[in-house]
Amino acid sequence: MANSYKFLGVTLSTQTETSILTAGTKDTIIIKSIKVTNNTGNTPTISFDVLDSSNSVEATILNTQSLTANSSVEILTMPLVLESSDILKATVSTNDNVNIGISYLNIT
């Protein structure tokens, strides 16, 4: 088993649900931090879901968190685990640019 600490930066600028991070078929991902930054003067909302591939259920992790203009917010208060083939997804309410920074441990 190998452990790799990683960072993923993503910019969302569409209102479509977007796959952000997918665990490999033999991987486990432990997400330590999800920081969302709104670099605009608007106040969009963001939602996060996880597709649990082992039972084909999409679970809501965060529903419509308001993002204050020109600010950042930490989404997690405890680690989030993605098992084999699970997918972290995000949806933003407007076409504004919202930046997401994810710090995680990938176990292969």
| Cut 0.75: pTM above it | yes
What is the sign of the dihedral through the CA atoms of 12, 18, 24 and 27? positive
Query: How sure is the predictor about 14, in pLDDT bands with cuts at 50, 70 and 90?
Result: confident
The phi and psi torsions of 80 (rounded to 5 degrees) equal -120, 130
pLDDT tens digits along 37-78: 998 889 999 999 999 999 999 999 999 999 999 999 999 999
How far apart (Å, rounded) are the C-alpha atoms in residues 58 and 95?
23
